Structure 1
């Protein structure tokens, strides 16, 4: 039991909380300091033109993925593409 805590959204979601509705503070996703929390898909330099990787990114960066983010994280995750 605590009065307030700083926790990752996955812990809030697993506890039945909605980060967008139950949080007392949310970081501004447009703040440059928040950019360190963006997940990236990365490859070695020699694989930058790998067609399989490009296909993966293409299928990941879709409106369907954005809808799933909203559905499964109650709007806590924001697509960065």
Structure 2
């Protein structure tokens, strides 16, 4: 899986909307949506923040493993 797929998978697994996650990350829902659509990639600091939010590692979030990221 790739970053955008992993991000959407984790958000849906937790039962959150894009708006809810964007608020938790202190960003607009449009900016967060761009991550899930693959139109934009986060800077390292934001990537680490997203990984912490979903209790996973940046490497797993980016898809450097064979399995979907776990929570």
What is the TM-score normalised by the length of structure 2? Answer: 0.29
Name whichever structure is richer in helix by fraction: 2
The answer to which structure, 1 or 2, has the higher relative contact order (CA under 8 A, 6+ apart) is 2
What is the TM-score normalised by the length of structure 1? Answer: 0.26
Larger radius of gyration between Structure 1 and Structure 2: 1
